[in-house]
Chains A and B, each alone.
Chain A
Amino acid sequence: MDQGTLPEGFEALEPFVSDWVLPDASARMAKRQSSSIADIRRFYDAIVPRGVEALDYLRQYKLGELTPQGENLLKLMLSLTELGPAVEWYDNPQVYDGFPISRIRYVRQISDTAAQI
Chain B
Amino acid sequence: MENTRIPVPPIGLTAKYPEVGTGPCATDIYHDPEIYRKEIEAIFKRSWYMIGRVEQIPNPGDFFTYELPTFKQSVLICRDKDGEVNGFHNVCTHRGNVVEHRPDGTCKGVFMCRFHGWSFDLKGNLARVRDEEGFFDLDKPKLGLKPIPTEIWEGFIFVSPEDQPHKTLTEYLGEQGLDTAGYPWGQCTQSYQYEVEVGCNWKLIVDSFAEVYHISTLHPNSAAPTMMASGNPYGRLLDVELKGPHRTNSHYSVWADVTNPVQRLAYLHAAAAQNVVGQDKINLPKGINPTRSDVWSVDLVIFFPTLSFTVSAGQYTAHQVWPIGPNRCLYQQRVFVRPAENAAQRVGQENSMVEYRDVSLEDLSTLERIQRSLDTGQIKEFHYHDHELSLRHQHKVVTDIIAAYDREMAEG
- The CA of A105 and the CA of B349, in the complex, are separated in Å by 19
Are B344 and A88 interface neighbours, CB within 8 A? Answer: no
B409 at the interface (CB under 8 A from A): no
A104 interface neighbour in B196, B263, B343, B344, Cβ under 8 Å: B196
Interface of A is mostly: helix
Are B342 and A59 interface neighbours, CB within 8 A? Answer: yes
Are B347 and A74 interface neighbours, CB within 8 A? Answer: yes
- The CA of A92 and the CA of B339, in the complex, are separated in Å by 31
Are B343 and A89 interface neighbours, CB within 8 A? Answer: no
B361 at the interface (CB under 8 A from A): yes
Pick out which of these stretches binds chain A: B29-37, B147-155, B185-193, B275-283.
B185-193
Are B339 and A117 interface neighbours, CB within 8 A? Answer: yes
Residues A25 and B193 in contact in the complex (CB < 8 Å), given A48-B261, A74-B343, A117-B341: no
Q: Count CB-based A-B contacts (< 8 Å).
A: 147
Are B354 and A105 interface neighbours, CB within 8 A? Answer: no
Q: How large is the interface on A (under 10, 10 to 19, 20 to 34, 35 or more residues)?
A: 35 or more
- The CA of A77 and the CA of B340, in the complex, are separated in Å by 15
- The CA of A25 and the CA of B362, in the complex, are separated in Å by 19
Chain A residues near B341: list those with CB within 8 A: 62, 117
Could you say which of A59, A99, A101, A107 has the most chain B C-beta atoms within 10 Å of its C-beta?
A99
- The CA of A84 and the CA of B332, in the complex, are separated in Å by 24
Tell me the nearest residue of chain B to A65, going by C-beta: B343
Tell me the nearest residue of chain B to A45, going by C-beta: B261
Residues A108 and B192 in contact in the complex (CB < 8 Å), given A80-B262, A98-B358: yes
Are B342 and A99 interface neighbours, CB within 8 A? Answer: no
Chain B residues near A80: list those with CB within 8 A: 262, 265, 347
A81 at the interface (CB under 8 A from B): yes
Are B339 and A89 interface neighbours, CB within 8 A? Answer: no
- The CA of A90 and the CA of B195, in the complex, are separated in Å by 23
**B403 CB, nearest partner CB in chain A, Å:** 34
- 8 Å CB interface, A6-53 against B: 25, 44, 48, 51-52
24 A-B pairs within 8 Å (CB atoms) are namely A25-B192, A25-B353, A51-B261, A52-B265, A55-B269, A55-B270, A60-B342, A63-B343, A78-B350, A80-B265, A81-B347, A84-B260, A84-B262, A84-B263, A97-B362, A98-B358, A98-B361, A98-B364, A103-B197, A106-B192, A107-B194, A109-B192, A110-B191, A110-B349
| Residues of A bordering B, CB below 8 Å | 25, 44, 48, 51-52, 55-56, 58-63, 66, 70, 74, 77-78, 80-85, 87-90, 95-99, 101, 103-110, 112-113, 116-117
